[in-house]
Amino acid sequence: MKIYRVGGAVRDALLGLPPGDTDWVVVGATPERMAELGFTPVGRDFPVFLHPRTHEEYALARTERKTSRGYRGFAFNCSPEVSLEDDLARRDLTINAIAQADDGSLVDPFGGQRDIEARILRHVGEAFAEDPVRILRLARFAARFPEFDIAPETMALMRAMVASGEVDALVPERSWQEIARGLMTAKPSRMFLVLRECGALARILPELDDLAVDGGYGFERALQAVDHAAAADAPLEVRFAALCSRIAPEPGPAIEAIADRLRVPNACRVLALLVAREQDAILAAIELPADALAGLVTRLDLIRRPERLEPVLAAVRAALAADRDCGSARQAATRAAAAPVATADDIDFPQAGWLRQASAAARSVDAGAIAAGAGDPGEIPALIQRARVAAIAGIEAQRPAH
| Residue 155 near residue 129 (C-beta atoms within 8 A) | no
Residue 7 pLDDT:
87
Residue 55: is it exposed, middle or buried by C-beta count within 10 angstroms (0-12/13-18/19+)? Answer: exposed
Residue 325 pLDDT:
84
Residue 359 pLDDT > 60: yes
- Of 62-76, 188-202, 230-244, the range with the lowest mean pLDDT is 62-76
Average pLDDT (99-125) is 96
Residue 16 pLDDT > 70: yes
pLDDT digits 0-9 by tens, 283-331? 999 999 999 999 999 999 999 999 999 999 999 999 999 988 886 444 4
| Global confidence as pTM | 0.88
- How many Cβ atoms sit within 10 Å of the Cβ of residue 35? 12
Residue 248 pLDDT:
86
Backbone torsion region of residue 214, taken as left when φ is above 0, otherwise alpha when ψ lies between -120 and 50, otherwise beta: left
Residue 145 pLDDT:
97
Where residue 333 falls among pLDDT bands split at 50, 70, 90? very low
- Of 17-26, 89-98, 204-213, 233-242, the range with the lowest mean pLDDT is 17-26
Residue 66 pLDDT:
59
Domain boundaries defined on the chain: 1-118
Residue 67 pLDDT:
59
Distance in angstroms (rounded) separating the CA atoms of residues 359 and 303: 8
pLDDT digits 0-9 by tens, 235-256? 999 999 999 998 988 899 999 9
| Residue 248 near residue 207 (C-beta atoms within 8 A) | yes
| CATH homologous superfamily, domain 1-118 | Beta Polymerase, domain 2 (3.30.460.10)
